[in-house]
């Protein structure tokens, strides 16, 4: 046999083999594309959920009728201790309100809840 005939046969076999090997890479590309699409869909759904949660958090609670019966916000225990301590040291409600960055009504309500006469 001639060397050119052997090279021709090897070339034809290589071309035929490339068709079978090429299908494997195509399925890999298809799977990669499916994963990419599903990842995009999940990201989109998560963004929608975050948007809904943000909207829910922006909703303000209903306005309460009376401050004396139900305060608008809870006061942290450290601030309550600070208010009672300042009051026992002789500070006025106005001075305590300025130091605690609260209104005078809130300070008075905290003191009343602790049984201190204002």
User: Could you read off the pLDDT tens digit of each residue along the chain, which spans 118 residues?
Assistant: 688 889 999 999 998 887 777 666 677 888 889 999 999 999 999 999 998 888 888 765 555 544 455 545 677 888 888 999 899 999 999 999 998 888 899 899 999 988 887 6
Alpha helices by DSSP H, listed for 1-118, are 3-58, 77-88, 93-100, 104-113
- The pTM for the full model equals 0.39
Q: How far apart are alpha carbons 107 and 94 in whole angstroms?
A: 9
Q: How far apart are alpha carbons 31 and 27 in whole angstroms?
A: 6
Q: Where are the domains of the chain?
A: 1-59, 62-118
Classified by CATH at the fold level, domain 62-118 comes out as Arc Repressor Mutant, subunit A (1.10.10)
**Which helix (H) or strand (E) is 2 found in, with range?**
none
């Amino acid at each position: 046999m001639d060397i050119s005939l052997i090279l021709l046969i090897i070339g034809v076999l290589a071309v035929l083999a490339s068709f079978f090997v090429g299908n494997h890479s195509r399925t890999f590309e298809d799977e990669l594309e499916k994963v990419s699409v599903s990842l995009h869909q999940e990201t989109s759904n998560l963004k929608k959920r975050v948007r809904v949660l943000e909207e829910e958090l922006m909703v303000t609670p209903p306005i309460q009728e009376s401050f004396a019966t139900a305060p608008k916000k809870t006061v942290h225990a450290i601030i309550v201790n600070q208010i009672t301590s300042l009051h026992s040291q002789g500070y006025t409600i106005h001075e305590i309100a300025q130091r605690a960055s609260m209104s005078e009504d809130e300070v008075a309500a905290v003191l009343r809840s602790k049984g201190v006469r204002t």
